[in-house]
């Protein structure tokens, strides 16, 4: 995956995951409640934001993740829980022979971050 450094020193990554035909509902269902230990692995490896958006018509999912460090993000897939999640998802994702998901990295073209953020209740 490619990395996209930002002024805030975070790394933003975007990629497409390729779903097998006819599994979009199941793919969504499996993400309704990710395993707590997977969420803990995300946090331990510096994942700040992670979202997946699905296009059921084309059997693709677009993923966007903000991480503290791209190398630490790569470590998530090497953890025990990351390996179990990969195996769990292998019947709904198009994968490489080694079982890793077929991922198409996307290049960032534009980014906007608002400077006008609502004040927290403490600062009002």
CB 88 within 8 A of CB 81: no
Res 6: pLDDT? 42
Residue 7, pLDDT score: 41
pTM: 0.80
53 catalytic per annotation: no
Which is the catalytic residue, given 31, 49, 96, 123? 31
Percent of the chain with pLDDT over 70: 86
Q: What is the pLDDT of residue 2?
A: 37
SS (HEC) of 61-110: EEEEEEECCHHHHHHHCCCHHHHHHHHHHCCCECECCCCCECEEECCCCC
**pLDDT mean for each 10 residues of the chain (124 residues):** 48 96 96 96 96 94 96 94 96 93 95 77 56
Convert 28-56 to b/e letters by CB count within 10 Å (16 or more is b).
eeeeeeeeeebeebbeebbbeebeeebee
Domains of the chain: 11-106 (3.30.70.100)
Q: What is the mean pLDDT of the chain?
A: 89
């Amino acid at each position: 995956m490619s990395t996209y450094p930002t002024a805030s020193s975070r790394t933003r990554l975007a990629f497409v995951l390729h779903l097998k035909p006819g599994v979009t509902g199941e793919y969504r269902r499996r993400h309704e409640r990710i395993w707590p230990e997977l969420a803990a692995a995300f946090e331990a490896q510096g994942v700040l934001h992670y979202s997946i958006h699905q296009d059921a018509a084309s059997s693709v999912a677009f993923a966007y993740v903000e991480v503290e460090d791209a190398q630490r993000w790569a470590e998530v897939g090497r953890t025990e829980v990351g390996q179990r999640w990969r195996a769990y998802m292998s019947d709904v994702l198009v994968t490489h022979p080694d079982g890793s998901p077929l991922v198409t990295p996307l290049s960032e073209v534009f980014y906007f971050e608002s400077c006008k953020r609502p004040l927290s209740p403490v600062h009002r």
